[in-house]
A and B are shown apart, each in its own frame.
Chain A
Amino acid sequence: MLTCLAGGRVVDPAHDRDRIGDVWIRDGRVVEAPQGGGSADARHDVSGKIVMAGGIDIHSHIAGANVNTARLLLPEYHRAALARPEATPLASAGWSTFATGCLYAGMGFTTVVEPAVAPHHALHAHLELADVPIIDKAILAVLGNDDVLLGLIHARESASAVRDYVAWALETSRALGVKVVNAGGAAAFKSNLREFSLDDVVPYYGVSSRQIVKTLQHAVHDLGVPHPLHVHCNNLGIAGSADTALATIAAAEGLPLHLAHLQFYGYGKDGARGFSSHAARLAEAVNGASSVTIDVGQVMFGPTVTISSDVLRQFNARDRAQPRKWVIFDGDSNGGGIVPYDYRVDDFYNAVQWAVGLELFLLIDDPWRVFFTTDHPNGAPFTAYPEIFALLMDRGVRDEWIARLPAEAMAVTTLPSISREYSVTEIATMTRAAPARLLGLADRGHLGPGAVADIAVYDDVTDRAAMFRNAALVFKDGELVVRDGKVTRRRWGRAFAVRPEHDRAIDRRMRDYYDGRYGLSPEFMTVPDSAIGRPDPFELVPCIT
């Protein structure tokens, strides 16, 4: 079946394209226009609309044991949301897996990455993702607080031994990449340490956080995993965390490194309250470090819940829980902390946080290296994305918001003075072309011939929030799935995973390890195809050779 999207403004930064034209689809792929002007079986007149590839969200906590604990912790939030859907906590965030897929698709997103899955919980995460309709998905496997890795570093084992282990973990978890969360911090917390910085050392192993990050960075890179090591730095959320982020950026040393939700590290200690924005310093460092990518983790106002594998940080934040309840999970390596929180427009600190995220977006020059996230739900639910697009694209909208926030908070940031407005092409780069490249998805994020036909069509209206809230049309693998923000056809996507080449001797080594430590076979952490219950549940992403 040949489909034509006719006469739209086609924005495809991967091919330097922003002009009126047609997009042709056949058998789930974008194809060249037929020779001799053949006619389409299905033709959509998209004149006056913007056509781009489907959105790709690289960091959103949508599935797995920690996410599910958050659901079970807060039934009052989604009960309230269902009764009064407009203005209540997490109002439209969609608690269930089904709602998650539909809401994302309605906004024109076609791929979402769950960024933090403990390998022992990979099966759980994949089961949840299998019940998220329409979108393609992936998980990142969390390493860096596990006894195996810390033991390998402590014993000064070879780089190839580390690579074999990392490859084994990726393969067993069926993950797309590796995440490290407060490297060494969760292990240190189990030994009763209450703070942990880049050069602090994990008791017993004598290994520093920096060593763990560097070891994983090299292993991921040398294995040819397309996605760089994805780093949640130490000291998230505290005044002065900018120093930690800067030190971690410097630690990249020219190799690829991705820093997650950088907004939470954008704080200095200046001013009467000892809390200020250092976003400008961070932006400058990111601009100067061409191998580094970041995602923002934008804060927006309203009640939400923080879900994180940074057990230490969440434990330290527990007294600020709103409502006053929280779960701290000491997992086998990392674990989880679920702490509800309310970002308030009248709160000095929250207002600074909101500004820091926007400063990062606006002061980092290269839209290929800054990624659009709220660290859902930690900064805000993903349903806040349309409002954030409006803030980035329209200085007037920003000024309206700034006028409603505490002036003393705005005074410790540079935001009021920033006039930059994101263009449609820059948005398409940041949310489509760049994430596809960062994840190694060569046939997504663009509209060239051969691309998978994951396509979003938007009405070109001045109210950019309205534009991005309800996509006019969304195609997934060439099938129409959304019309005017509403899902019209339910179908199931795939989970991306990498399987780097490595020496299989690790299998035996890991069987012996699990037998010794737990009296168990590592079978318990595998993800059998048959368990997923969907046709073709996985898609292998090639490693870089």
Chain B
Amino acid sequence: MGHAWIDGKPATIDAATTEAAKVLAASRFPVVAGLGTDIAGARAAIALAQRLGAAVDHMNADAVFNDLDVLREAGMMVTTPTEARARGDTLLLVGTGLVSAWPELPQRLCTSRTAPDAGGAVRRIFWLCPGAGDERVLGADAEATAIGHDPGDLPVVLAALRTRIAGRPVGRTPLPATSIDALAADLQTARFGVAVWSAAELDALTIEMLCGMVKDLNARTRFTGLPLAAGDNAAGILQACGWLTGFPMRTAFGRSRPDHDPWRFDARRLVASGEADCVVWISAYRAATPEWTRDIPMIALTAPGARWRRPVRVQIEVGRPGVDHDAVEYLAATGALAPAMAAKPSEAASVARVISGIAAVLSAGAQPC
């Protein structure tokens, strides 16, 4: 049971599946984009891409690469949300978009004290350059001391902070020198400090400066970082791409071995340039649709409610992971892959099942992925 359409007209899932396979078989360079799905959906989608010689991208890959580029070019010190909660006596919240990235941040992270084995210390929370709408009160007992008020100042302010921690002089910044020095001193007296940021809001160079400062602080004390993942299971898909292909998303299989290039295999660019001639768009968590306006044959696997400017070639409504069907996904509360059992199990087909169906038609009888 489920809803499917071919060229905007209602069809059975079987017919839509067959049509999708036909469209893909006829295409020369498809791209599997969106990739808002659970781990099973990712395994199926990446296997399909490998088989078709397609590229894979994720709708939130820009944010993923802000962090990943820093990690793979400079390295990083990181921790889990659970350890930050248990042990982080000093939290340095950085920039804006933290609560929108992790809505449970206030109650999960900002309890008033650390765990007994971490000293049961009263937690200090500093918020560096919060945005205008950011609420400084983070829970019943947790209030953040704001330093600065414009996230746009972060590149200069972080550089100055890092420099002062190293004991070197700085020139003028948008913030008073005393504020920067006071924060530098507070960070250095942390017992186990945790910097928290959202890669969706900062660029890679800013993140690199922040992570460099975190490393510098470890010369004398303990400090680490907590990057907040982008939505639509971006962090989970990154992991799945890694183990299945050795590379993150924005990888293509046209040469029968994985080719990773974050510029070349950006789905938006592939569509805009005309290099891609077909898209498999996946958005199971919400009915997101792609940004591009170009008319390109699209096979859309989306949660109910997707609205299109023009009917897509094939559309199949899929179940939402952790709602309609059991799933595995990145859990913000733990920073790891976790089971998400179906809250309201239904007959709606999962992304994995739909893609297996497409692959089966493509194989005409051989094992699906």
Residues of chain A whose beta carbon lies under 8 Å from any beta carbon of chain B: 63, 65, 67-69, 71-75, 78-79, 82, 95-99, 120-121, 123-124, 127-128, 131, 147, 150-151, 187, 189-192, 204-205, 315, 321, 325-332, 335, 517-520, 523-526, 528, 530-531, 533
Pick the contact of B339 from A78, A190, A518, A531 — CB < 8 Å? A531
Task: Please judge, given known A-B contacts A121-B336, A124-B336, A329-B79, whether A205 and B117 are in contact too, CB under 8 Å.
Answer: yes
Task: Please judge, given known A-B contacts A72-B238, A192-B221, whether A204 and B336 are in contact too, CB under 8 Å.
Answer: no
Pick the contact of A525 from B68, B218, B338 — CB < 8 Å? B338
**Which B residues lie within 8 Å of A68 (CB)?**
239, 242-243
**Which B residues lie within 8 Å of A524 (CB)?**
331, 333-334, 336, 338-339
Q: Are B72 and A325 in contact (CB under 8 A)?
A: yes
Pick the contact of A75 from B79, B82, B118, B247 — CB < 8 Å? B247
**Which B residues lie within 8 Å of A330 (CB)?**
77-80, 83, 222, 224
Main secondary structure of the interface of B (DSSP, over half): mixed
Q: Are B86 and A131 in contact (CB under 8 A)?
A: no
**Which A residues lie within 8 Å of B118 (CB)?**
190, 204
**Nearest 4 CB-CB pairs, A to B?**
A95-B246, A325-B75, A524-B338, A330-B79
Q: Are A147 and B336 in contact (CB under 8 A)?
A: no
Task: Please judge, given known A-B contacts A190-B222, A327-B78, A331-B79, whether A73 and B71 are in contact too, CB under 8 Å.
Answer: yes
CB of A523, distance to nearest CB on chain B (Å): 7
**Which A residues lie within 8 Å of B85 (CB)?**
518
Binary contact readout B83-97 vs A (1 if CB under 8 angstroms, 0 otherwise) = 101110000000000
Question: Once bound together, how far apart are the Cα atoms of A97 and B242, in whole Å?
Answer: 9
CB of B107, distance to nearest CB on chain A (Å): 7
Interchain Cβ contacts under 8 Å between A and B, 26 examples: A65-B336, A68-B239, A68-B243, A69-B71, A72-B248, A78-B247, A82-B257, A82-B258, A131-B43, A147-B117, A189-B222, A190-B87, A190-B118, A204-B116, A325-B72, A327-B71, A328-B78, A330-B83, A331-B79, A332-B80, A517-B86, A520-B82, A524-B338, A530-B326, A533-B40, A533-B43
Question: Once bound together, how far apart are the Cα atoms of A389 and B76, in whole Å?
Answer: 37
**Which B residues lie within 8 Å of A520 (CB)?**
82, 333-334
Is B108 part of the binding interface, using a Cβ–Cβ cutoff of 8 Å?
A: yes
Q: Are A192 and B191 in contact (CB under 8 A)?
A: yes
CB of A191, distance to nearest CB on chain B (Å): 8
Question: Once bound together, how far apart are the Cα atoms of A175 and B2, in whole Å?
Answer: 39
Pick the contact of B244 from A131, A147, A189 — CB < 8 Å? A131
Is B245 part of the binding interface, using a Cβ–Cβ cutoff of 8 Å?
A: yes
Which of A67, A123, A332, A520 gathers the greatest number of chain B CB atoms within 10 Å? Answer: A332
Question: Once bound together, how far apart are the Cα atoms of A187 and B43, in whole Å?
Answer: 35
Q: How large is the interface on B (under 10, 10 to 19, 20 to 34, 35 or more residues)?
A: 35 or more
**Which A residues lie within 8 Å of B82 (CB)?**
120, 332, 517-518, 520
Residues of chain B whose beta carbon lies under 8 Å from any beta carbon of chain A: 39-40, 43, 68, 71-80, 82-83, 85-87, 107-108, 115-119, 191-192, 218, 221-222, 224, 238-239, 242-248, 257-258, 260, 326, 328, 331, 333-334, 336-339, 341, 352
17 more contacts with CB within 8 A, not counting A124-B337, A147-B86, A518-B334, are: A68-B243, A72-B71, A98-B244, A99-B246, A120-B80, A123-B338, A124-B336, A147-B115, A150-B117, A187-B117, A325-B73, A328-B76, A331-B79, A332-B83, A335-B79, A519-B107, A531-B326
CB of B164, distance to nearest CB on chain A (Å): 21
Q: Are A131 and B333 in contact (CB under 8 A)?
A: no
Q: Are B77 and A328 in contact (CB under 8 A)?
A: yes
Question: Once bound together, how far apart are the Cα atoms of A530 and B352, in whole Å?
Answer: 13
CB of B270, distance to nearest CB on chain A (Å): 20
Q: Are A96 and B338 in contact (CB under 8 A)?
A: no
Question: Once bound together, how far apart are the Cα atoms of A332 and B191, in whole Å?
Answer: 16
Question: Once bound together, how far apart are the Cα atoms of A79 and B261, in whole Å?
Answer: 10
Q: Are B222 and A192 in contact (CB under 8 A)?
A: yes
Q: Are B72 and A120 in contact (CB under 8 A)?
A: no
Q: Are A120 and B117 in contact (CB under 8 A)?
A: no
Which of B80, B258, B337 gathers the greatest number of chain A CB atoms within 10 Å? Answer: B337
CB of B257, distance to nearest CB on chain A (Å): 5
Question: Once bound together, how far apart are the Cα atoms of A332 and B78, in whole Å?
Answer: 11
Question: Once bound together, how far apart are the Cα atoms of A329 and B82, in whole Å?
Answer: 13
CB-nearest residue of chain A to B258: A82
**Which A residues lie within 8 Å of B83 (CB)?**
330-332
Question: Once bound together, how far apart are the Cα atoms of A128 and B338, in whole Å?
Answer: 14
CB of B319, distance to nearest CB on chain A (Å): 14
Question: Once bound together, how far apart are the Cα atoms of A151 and B72, in whole Å?
Answer: 37
Task: Please judge, given known A-B contacts A121-B336, A127-B337, A131-B244, whether A327 and B79 are in contact too, CB under 8 Å.
Answer: no
**Which A residues lie within 8 Å of B334 (CB)?**
120, 518, 520, 524
Question: Once bound together, how far apart are the Cα atoms of A124 and B244, in whole Å?
Answer: 13
**Which A residues lie within 8 Å of B117 (CB)?**
147, 150-151, 187, 204-205
Question: Once bound together, how far apart are the Cα atoms of A75 and B192, in whole Å?
Answer: 31
Question: Once bound together, how far apart are the Cα atoms of A518 and B85, in whole Å?
Answer: 8
Q: Are A204 and B119 in contact (CB under 8 A)?
A: yes
Q: Are B72 and A73 in contact (CB under 8 A)?
A: yes
CB-nearest residue of chain A to B120: A204
CB of B240, distance to nearest CB on chain A (Å): 8
